[in-house]
Amino acid sequence: MASASLWRYAARRVLLALPALAGVVVVTFVITRMLPGDPALYYAGQVDSFASVDEIRHRMGLDRPLPLQFVAYVDDLAHGDLGQSLSTGQPVGRELIQRLPASFELMASALSLALLIAVPLGVMAATRPGSWIDHACRLIGTAGVSLPTFFTGLLLIYVFYYVAGWAPAPVGRFPSFMRPPPSITGMILIDSLLAGDLDKFQAALGQIALPALTMALFALAPLTRMTRAAMLGVLSSDFVRQARANGAPRLHLLFVTALRNGLLPVVTTLGMIASSMLGANVLVERVFAWPGVGSYALDAMVSLDYAPLQGFVLVMSVVYVLINLGIDILYGVIDPRVRFEA
Protein backbone atom coordinates (compact mmCIF):
# COMPACT_ATOMS: atom_id res chain seq x y z
CA MET A 1 0.00 0.00 0.00
CA ALA A 2 1.79 3.08 -1.25
CA SER A 3 0.81 5.98 1.00
CA ALA A 4 2.03 8.60 -1.44
CA SER A 5 -0.38 7.42 -4.10
CA LEU A 6 -3.08 7.25 -1.43
CA TRP A 7 -2.70 10.93 -0.59
CA ARG A 8 -2.52 11.90 -4.22
CA TYR A 9 -5.68 9.88 -4.83
CA ALA A 10 -7.48 11.53 -1.94
CA ALA A 11 -6.41 14.99 -3.05
CA ARG A 12 -7.52 14.35 -6.61
CA ARG A 13 -10.89 13.10 -5.45
CA VAL A 14 -11.44 16.18 -3.29
CA LEU A 15 -10.49 18.46 -6.16
CA LEU A 16 -12.84 16.62 -8.47
CA ALA A 17 -15.61 17.15 -5.96
CA LEU A 18 -15.17 20.92 -5.85
CA PRO A 19 -17.13 21.72 -9.04
CA ALA A 20 -19.99 19.61 -7.72
CA LEU A 21 -19.91 21.49 -4.43
CA ALA A 22 -19.87 24.83 -6.21
CA GLY A 23 -22.85 23.66 -8.24
CA VAL A 24 -24.59 22.71 -5.03
CA VAL A 25 -24.06 26.18 -3.54
CA VAL A 26 -25.51 27.92 -6.57
CA VAL A 27 -28.41 25.57 -7.08
CA THR A 28 -29.39 25.68 -3.40
CA PHE A 29 -29.33 29.46 -3.38
CA VAL A 30 -31.54 29.60 -6.44
CA ILE A 31 -33.96 26.97 -5.23
CA THR A 32 -34.42 28.58 -1.83
CA ARG A 33 -35.16 31.88 -3.50
CA MET A 34 -37.66 30.11 -5.73
CA LEU A 35 -39.62 28.73 -2.79
CA PRO A 36 -42.92 30.53 -3.00
CA GLY A 37 -43.81 32.87 -0.18
CA ASP A 38 -42.49 36.05 1.32
CA PRO A 39 -40.26 35.49 4.36
CA ALA A 40 -40.61 39.13 5.37
CA LEU A 41 -44.38 38.84 5.54
CA TYR A 42 -44.14 35.51 7.33
CA TYR A 43 -41.76 36.72 9.99
CA ALA A 44 -43.45 40.09 10.32
CA GLY A 45 -46.41 38.30 11.82
CA GLN A 46 -49.51 40.39 12.23
CA VAL A 47 -48.47 43.95 11.53
CA ASP A 48 -50.65 46.92 10.83
CA SER A 49 -49.41 47.96 7.40
CA PHE A 50 -47.35 47.05 4.39
CA ALA A 51 -44.98 49.85 5.26
CA SER A 52 -43.98 47.86 8.34
CA VAL A 53 -43.51 44.77 6.21
CA ASP A 54 -41.30 46.70 3.80
CA GLU A 55 -39.19 48.00 6.62
CA ILE A 56 -38.85 44.52 8.02
CA ARG A 57 -37.88 43.21 4.61
CA HIS A 58 -35.22 45.91 4.40
CA ARG A 59 -33.88 45.02 7.85
CA MET A 60 -33.61 41.40 6.78
CA GLY A 61 -31.68 42.35 3.67
CA LEU A 62 -34.24 40.68 1.47
CA ASP A 63 -34.93 43.74 -0.65
CA ARG A 64 -31.48 43.69 -2.22
CA PRO A 65 -31.23 42.39 -5.80
CA LEU A 66 -30.59 38.65 -5.94
CA PRO A 67 -27.06 38.81 -7.38
CA LEU A 68 -26.04 41.10 -4.50
CA GLN A 69 -27.59 38.71 -2.00
CA PHE A 70 -25.65 35.86 -3.61
CA VAL A 71 -22.38 37.76 -3.45
CA ALA A 72 -23.01 38.55 0.21
CA TYR A 73 -23.77 34.87 0.83
CA VAL A 74 -20.58 33.65 -0.84
CA ASP A 75 -18.59 36.29 0.98
CA ASP A 76 -19.97 35.09 4.30
CA LEU A 77 -19.20 31.49 3.33
CA ALA A 78 -15.62 32.41 2.60
CA HIS A 79 -15.39 33.71 6.17
CA GLY A 80 -16.91 30.55 7.56
CA ASP A 81 -20.23 32.23 8.36
CA LEU A 82 -23.24 30.13 7.44
CA GLY A 83 -25.66 32.84 8.46
CA GLN A 84 -28.42 32.98 11.04
CA SER A 85 -31.61 31.01 11.25
CA LEU A 86 -34.66 33.26 11.23
CA SER A 87 -36.89 30.73 12.90
CA THR A 88 -34.61 29.78 15.80
CA GLY A 89 -32.52 32.94 15.95
CA GLN A 90 -29.34 30.88 16.27
CA PRO A 91 -26.25 30.88 14.04
CA VAL A 92 -26.61 28.12 11.48
CA GLY A 93 -23.08 26.86 11.94
CA ARG A 94 -23.54 26.38 15.67
CA GLU A 95 -26.86 24.62 15.22
CA LEU A 96 -25.45 22.25 12.63
CA ILE A 97 -22.57 21.41 14.96
CA GLN A 98 -25.08 20.60 17.68
CA ARG A 99 -27.38 18.60 15.45
CA LEU A 100 -24.93 16.58 13.38
CA PRO A 101 -23.88 14.42 16.35
CA ALA A 102 -27.55 13.76 17.08
CA SER A 103 -28.13 12.47 13.55
CA PHE A 104 -24.83 10.67 13.55
CA GLU A 105 -25.52 8.95 16.86
CA LEU A 106 -28.89 7.80 15.60
CA MET A 107 -27.44 6.55 12.34
CA ALA A 108 -24.59 4.74 14.06
CA SER A 109 -26.93 3.07 16.55
CA ALA A 110 -29.29 2.06 13.76
CA LEU A 111 -26.45 0.62 11.69
CA SER A 112 -24.99 -1.26 14.64
CA LEU A 113 -28.39 -2.73 15.40
CA ALA A 114 -28.90 -3.58 11.75
CA LEU A 115 -25.51 -5.29 11.54
CA LEU A 116 -26.22 -7.26 14.70
CA ILE A 117 -29.30 -8.68 13.02
CA ALA A 118 -28.25 -8.71 9.36
CA VAL A 119 -24.87 -10.40 9.59
CA PRO A 120 -26.04 -13.55 11.42
CA LEU A 121 -29.09 -13.65 9.15
CA GLY A 122 -26.95 -13.33 6.04
CA VAL A 123 -24.48 -15.94 7.22
CA MET A 124 -27.32 -18.31 8.11
CA ALA A 125 -28.88 -17.82 4.72
CA ALA A 126 -25.58 -18.34 2.96
CA THR A 127 -24.81 -21.61 4.69
CA ARG A 128 -28.16 -23.10 3.69
CA PRO A 129 -28.87 -21.64 0.26
CA GLY A 130 -32.29 -22.37 -1.17
CA SER A 131 -33.74 -23.60 2.12
CA TRP A 132 -36.71 -22.10 3.96
CA ILE A 133 -34.28 -20.36 6.27
CA ASP A 134 -32.78 -18.65 3.27
CA HIS A 135 -36.19 -17.53 2.10
CA ALA A 136 -37.24 -16.43 5.58
CA CYS A 137 -34.12 -14.30 6.00
CA ARG A 138 -34.70 -12.75 2.64
CA LEU A 139 -38.31 -12.01 3.49
CA ILE A 140 -37.40 -10.38 6.78
CA GLY A 141 -34.89 -8.16 5.10
CA THR A 142 -37.16 -7.22 2.24
CA ALA A 143 -40.09 -6.60 4.55
CA GLY A 144 -37.98 -4.19 6.53
CA VAL A 145 -37.14 -2.10 3.54
CA SER A 146 -40.74 -2.07 2.39
CA LEU A 147 -42.05 -0.38 5.47
CA PRO A 148 -42.47 3.35 5.29
CA THR A 149 -40.25 4.68 8.07
CA PHE A 150 -42.82 7.17 9.28
CA PHE A 151 -45.39 4.42 9.60
CA THR A 152 -43.04 2.03 11.36
CA GLY A 153 -42.07 4.73 13.79
CA LEU A 154 -45.69 5.54 14.63
CA LEU A 155 -46.54 1.87 15.07
CA LEU A 156 -43.58 1.27 17.35
CA ILE A 157 -44.50 4.29 19.46
CA TYR A 158 -48.07 3.14 19.71
CA VAL A 159 -47.22 -0.43 20.67
CA PHE A 160 -44.24 0.10 22.92
CA TYR A 161 -45.07 3.42 24.55
CA TYR A 162 -48.84 3.90 24.66
CA VAL A 163 -49.93 0.33 25.00
CA ALA A 164 -47.08 -1.54 26.67
CA GLY A 165 -45.36 1.39 28.36
CA TRP A 166 -41.94 -0.22 27.90
CA ALA A 167 -40.39 2.57 25.88
CA PRO A 168 -39.97 6.05 27.37
CA ALA A 169 -41.86 9.06 26.06
CA PRO A 170 -40.69 9.99 22.56
CA VAL A 171 -39.56 13.47 23.54
CA GLY A 172 -36.18 13.44 21.82
CA ARG A 173 -32.74 12.38 22.92
CA PHE A 174 -33.21 12.69 26.65
CA PRO A 175 -36.07 12.43 29.17
CA SER A 176 -37.75 15.58 30.46
CA PHE A 177 -36.65 15.39 34.07
CA MET A 178 -32.99 14.64 33.75
CA ARG A 179 -30.13 16.90 32.76
CA PRO A 180 -28.02 15.45 29.94
CA PRO A 181 -24.37 14.71 30.66
CA PRO A 182 -21.76 17.38 29.89
CA SER A 183 -21.29 17.50 26.13
CA ILE A 184 -17.89 16.28 24.94
CA THR A 185 -18.52 14.45 21.69
CA GLY A 186 -22.10 15.63 21.33
CA MET A 187 -23.28 12.02 21.40
CA ILE A 188 -25.16 11.46 24.62
CA LEU A 189 -24.50 7.72 24.80
CA ILE A 190 -20.75 8.26 24.65
CA ASP A 191 -20.78 11.36 26.83
CA SER A 192 -22.68 9.64 29.61
CA LEU A 193 -20.19 6.77 29.56
CA LEU A 194 -17.32 9.22 29.63
CA ALA A 195 -18.92 10.90 32.63
CA GLY A 196 -19.36 7.50 34.24
CA ASP A 197 -23.08 8.06 34.71
CA LEU A 198 -24.89 4.80 34.04
CA ASP A 199 -28.33 6.22 34.87
CA LYS A 200 -27.99 8.76 32.12
CA PHE A 201 -26.64 6.13 29.74
CA GLN A 202 -29.67 3.98 30.41
CA ALA A 203 -32.00 6.94 29.91
CA ALA A 204 -30.35 7.89 26.61
CA LEU A 205 -30.42 4.27 25.47
CA GLY A 206 -34.13 4.13 26.16
CA GLN A 207 -34.75 7.23 24.09
CA ILE A 208 -32.71 6.04 21.12
CA ALA A 209 -34.08 2.49 21.07
CA LEU A 210 -37.23 3.03 19.02
CA PRO A 211 -35.90 5.47 16.42
CA ALA A 212 -32.79 3.31 15.93
CA LEU A 213 -34.96 0.24 15.48
CA THR A 214 -37.13 2.05 12.95
CA MET A 215 -34.10 2.99 10.89
CA ALA A 216 -32.39 -0.36 11.37
CA LEU A 217 -35.34 -2.16 9.80
CA PHE A 218 -34.73 -0.15 6.69
CA ALA A 219 -31.06 -1.07 6.48
CA LEU A 220 -31.66 -4.77 7.08
CA ALA A 221 -32.39 -5.81 3.52
CA PRO A 222 -29.34 -4.50 1.70
CA LEU A 223 -27.04 -5.59 4.53
CA THR A 224 -28.51 -9.09 4.76
CA ARG A 225 -28.41 -9.53 1.03
CA MET A 226 -24.87 -8.26 0.75
CA THR A 227 -23.63 -10.45 3.61
CA ARG A 228 -25.31 -13.46 2.10
CA ALA A 229 -23.92 -12.85 -1.38
CA ALA A 230 -20.47 -12.11 -0.06
CA MET A 231 -20.44 -15.20 2.14
CA LEU A 232 -21.65 -17.39 -0.70
CA GLY A 233 -18.99 -16.05 -3.01
CA VAL A 234 -16.28 -16.56 -0.49
CA LEU A 235 -17.43 -19.95 0.80
CA SER A 236 -17.16 -21.40 -2.67
CA SER A 237 -13.82 -19.77 -3.34
CA ASP A 238 -10.58 -21.63 -3.64
CA PHE A 239 -8.82 -20.57 -0.50
CA VAL A 240 -11.75 -21.48 1.70
CA ARG A 241 -12.01 -24.86 0.10
CA GLN A 242 -8.34 -25.24 0.76
CA ALA A 243 -8.77 -24.31 4.41
CA ARG A 244 -11.65 -26.73 4.76
CA ALA A 245 -9.59 -29.46 3.17
CA ASN A 246 -6.88 -28.66 5.68
CA GLY A 247 -9.37 -29.42 8.41
CA ALA A 248 -10.17 -25.93 9.80
CA PRO A 249 -13.06 -25.98 12.32
CA ARG A 250 -16.38 -24.84 10.84
CA LEU A 251 -17.05 -21.80 13.00
CA HIS A 252 -13.56 -20.50 12.60
CA LEU A 253 -13.99 -20.97 8.89
CA LEU A 254 -17.18 -19.02 8.85
CA PHE A 255 -16.43 -16.09 11.02
CA VAL A 256 -12.75 -15.57 10.64
CA THR A 257 -11.67 -16.66 7.21
CA ALA A 258 -14.75 -16.27 5.10
CA LEU A 259 -16.25 -13.19 6.73
CA ARG A 260 -13.08 -11.17 6.78
CA ASN A 261 -12.70 -11.68 3.08
CA GLY A 262 -16.35 -11.10 2.37
CA LEU A 263 -16.13 -7.79 4.19
CA LEU A 264 -15.45 -5.65 1.16
CA PRO A 265 -18.90 -5.42 -0.41
CA VAL A 266 -20.42 -5.16 3.05
CA VAL A 267 -18.28 -2.11 3.75
CA THR A 268 -19.36 -0.54 0.50
CA THR A 269 -22.99 -1.17 1.25
CA LEU A 270 -22.53 0.19 4.76
CA GLY A 271 -21.06 3.34 3.36
CA MET A 272 -23.89 3.85 0.91
CA ILE A 273 -26.49 3.28 3.59
CA ALA A 274 -24.72 5.57 6.05
CA SER A 275 -24.57 8.46 3.68
CA SER A 276 -28.21 8.10 2.68
CA MET A 277 -29.29 7.73 6.30
CA LEU A 278 -27.51 10.79 7.54
CA GLY A 279 -29.40 13.35 5.56
CA ALA A 280 -32.52 11.51 4.61
CA ASN A 281 -33.90 10.42 7.95
CA VAL A 282 -36.15 13.43 7.99
CA LEU A 283 -39.28 11.45 8.64
CA VAL A 284 -37.89 9.42 11.54
CA GLU A 285 -36.65 12.59 13.19
CA ARG A 286 -40.03 14.21 12.75
CA VAL A 287 -41.93 11.31 14.28
CA PHE A 288 -39.59 10.91 17.27
CA ALA A 289 -38.85 14.61 17.86
CA TRP A 290 -35.18 13.82 17.30
CA PRO A 291 -33.18 17.09 17.04
CA GLY A 292 -31.07 16.06 14.08
CA VAL A 293 -30.09 17.73 10.84
CA GLY A 294 -32.96 16.20 8.90
CA SER A 295 -35.69 17.81 10.96
CA TYR A 296 -33.63 21.01 10.98
CA ALA A 297 -33.77 21.18 7.20
CA LEU A 298 -37.44 20.23 7.08
CA ASP A 299 -38.39 22.96 9.54
CA ALA A 300 -36.29 25.46 7.64
CA MET A 301 -37.94 24.66 4.34
CA VAL A 302 -41.42 24.99 5.75
CA SER A 303 -40.63 28.32 7.44
CA LEU A 304 -38.91 29.88 4.42
CA ASP A 305 -35.70 30.05 6.43
CA TYR A 306 -33.03 30.33 3.74
CA ALA A 307 -29.80 30.25 5.73
CA PRO A 308 -30.29 26.89 7.49
CA LEU A 309 -31.45 25.27 4.25
CA GLN A 310 -28.41 26.46 2.37
CA GLY A 311 -26.11 25.60 5.25
CA PHE A 312 -27.61 22.16 5.62
CA VAL A 313 -27.29 21.21 1.96
CA LEU A 314 -23.75 22.48 1.76
CA VAL A 315 -22.62 20.65 4.88
CA MET A 316 -24.35 17.43 3.86
CA SER A 317 -22.76 17.54 0.41
CA VAL A 318 -19.35 17.90 1.98
CA VAL A 319 -20.14 15.01 4.32
CA TYR A 320 -21.20 12.82 1.38
CA VAL A 321 -18.00 13.55 -0.48
CA LEU A 322 -15.96 12.71 2.61
CA ILE A 323 -17.89 9.51 3.31
CA ASN A 324 -17.51 8.32 -0.29
CA LEU A 325 -13.84 9.09 -0.17
CA GLY A 326 -13.55 7.28 3.15
CA ILE A 327 -15.22 4.19 1.75
CA ASP A 328 -12.89 4.06 -1.21
CA ILE A 329 -9.86 4.43 1.00
CA LEU A 330 -11.15 1.80 3.42
CA TYR A 331 -11.69 -0.44 0.44
CA GLY A 332 -8.08 -0.06 -0.49
CA VAL A 333 -6.91 -0.70 3.05
CA ILE A 334 -8.93 -3.91 3.34
CA ASP A 335 -8.02 -5.27 -0.05
CA PRO A 336 -4.34 -4.89 -0.85
CA ARG A 337 -5.05 -5.68 -4.46
CA VAL A 338 -6.83 -2.39 -4.98
CA ARG A 339 -4.48 0.18 -6.44
CA PHE A 340 -5.07 3.87 -6.27
CA GLU A 341 -4.64 5.46 -9.65
CA ALA A 342 -3.55 9.04 -9.23
Partner 1 sequence: MSEAVARRSPLRHLLQENKLTGVAVGLFGLLVLVALLAPSLVPHDPLATNAAHSVEPPSAQFWFGTDEVGRDVFSRTMVATQLDLGIALSAVAISFAIGSVLGAACGFFGGWLDRITARLVDTLMAFPLFLLAMAIISVLGNSTANVVYATALVNLPFYIRMARAEAAKLRGSGYIEAARLAGMGPAQLLTAHVYPNILPPIMVQISLNLGWAILNAAGLSFIGLGVRPPVAEWGIMVADGASLIVSGAWWVSLFPGVALMLTVLCFNLIGDGLRDVLDPRRVT
Partner 2 sequence: MLRRDLLRTTGALLSADALSLLRVTPASAQSRAETLLVVVEVGQNSLDPQGLGVNQATLGVTWNLYDRLIGFGVKTLPDGNASFDFDHLVPELAESWTTAADGGSVTFRLRPDATFHDGSKVTAADVKWSLDRAVSNPAPASQMRAGGLEKPEQFVVLDEHTIRVDLPAHSKLSLPDLAVIQPSVFNAKLCQAHATTDDPWALNWAKTNTAGSGAYTLESWTPRQETVLARNESWRGGKLPFFKRIVIREIPSSGNRRALLERGDADLSFDLPPRDFADLARDAKLTVLGVPAPNTFQYVGMNTHTKPFDDVRVRQAVAWALPYDKIFDTALQGRGRKLFGGPAAPVGNEWPQPFPYHTDPDRAKALLAEAGLAGGFETTLAFDLGTASVDEPVCLFIQEALAGIGIKAAINRLPPGQLRGSIGSRQQPLYLFSFGAWFDVPEYFFFLLYDGKLNGPSNGASYANQAVDAAIDTARNTSDPEAYAAALRTMFTAAMTDVPYVPLAQPFVNVAMQKSISGFVNMFHRQLDYRPLHRG
Residues of this chain that interact with partner 1 (CB under 8 A) are 17, 19-21, 23-24, 27-28, 31-32, 34-36, 129-130, 135, 138-139, 142-143, 145-151, 154-155, 157-158, 162, 221, 225, 229, 232-233, 236, 276, 279-280, 282-283, 286-287, 297-298, 301, 312-313, 316-317, 320-321
| Residue 87 interaction partner, one of partner 1, partner 2, none, beta carbon < 5-8 Å per kind | partner 2
Give the shortest CB-13-to-partner 1 separation in angstroms. 11
CB closer to partner 2, 14 vs 44:
44
Query: Using CA atoms, how far apart are residues 154 and 152, in angstroms rounded to an integer?
Result: 5
Burial call 243-252: b when 16+ CB within 10 Å, e when fewer: beeeeeeeee
Residue of 197, 160, 190, 158 whose CA lies nearest to 173 = 190
Regarding 88 and contact with partner 2 (CB under 8 A), the answer is yes
Q: How many residues are recorded in the chain?
A: 342
Neighbours of 92 (CB within 10 A): 25
| Residue 246 interaction partner, one of partner 2, partner 1, none, beta carbon < 5-8 Å per kind | none
Regarding 4 and contact with partner 2 (CB under 8 A), the answer is no
Give the shortest CB-316-to-partner 1 separation in angstroms. 5
CB closer to partner 2, 55 vs 328:
55
| Residue 266 interaction partner, one of partner 2, partner 1, none, beta carbon < 5-8 Å per kind | none
Regarding 3 and contact with partner 2 (CB under 8 A), the answer is no
CB closer to partner 1, 96 vs 188:
96
Query: Using CA atoms, how far apart are residues 74 and 82, in angstroms rounded to an integer?
Result: 9
- HSE-up (13 A, CA, CB side) for residue 223: 26
Q: Which sign does the torsion angle of CA 138, 139, 143, 146 carry?
A: positive
CB closer to partner 1, 189 vs 313:
313
| Residue 123 interaction partner, one of partner 2, partner 1, none, beta carbon < 5-8 Å per kind | none
Which residues are bridge partners to 91 per DSSP? 84
> Considering only residues 87, 127, 237, 276, which one is a binding residue for partner 2 as defined by CB under 8 A?
87
> Considering only residues 19, 34, 49, 196, which one is a binding residue for partner 2 as defined by CB under 8 A?
49
Which residues are bridge partners to 84 per DSSP? 91
Yes or no: say if 281 and 296 are a contact pair by the CB < 8 Å rule.
no
How far the first Cα of the chain sits from its last, in Å, is 13
CB closer to partner 2, 154 vs 334:
154
Regarding 93 and contact with partner 2 (CB under 8 A), the answer is no
> Considering only residues 147, 193, 232, 289, which one is a binding residue for partner 2 as defined by CB under 8 A?
289
> Can you list the positions of beta strands (E) in the chain?
none
Give the shortest CB-217-to-partner 2 separation in angstroms. 20
Give the shortest CB-216-to-partner 1 separation in angstroms. 16
Query: Using CA atoms, how far apart are residues 240 and 10, in angstroms rounded to an integer?
Result: 33
Yes or no: say if 324 and 275 are a contact pair by the CB < 8 Å rule.
yes
Contacts of 305 (CB under 8 A, 6+ apart): 39, 85, 86, 87, 299
Residue of 7, 20, 185, 225 whose CA lies nearest to 105 = 185
Q: Which residues bind partner 2 (CB under 8 A)?
A: 35-39, 41-50, 52-53, 55-56, 59-60, 85-90, 95, 157, 161-172, 175-178, 199, 202-203, 206-207, 286-287, 289, 291, 295-296, 299, 302-304
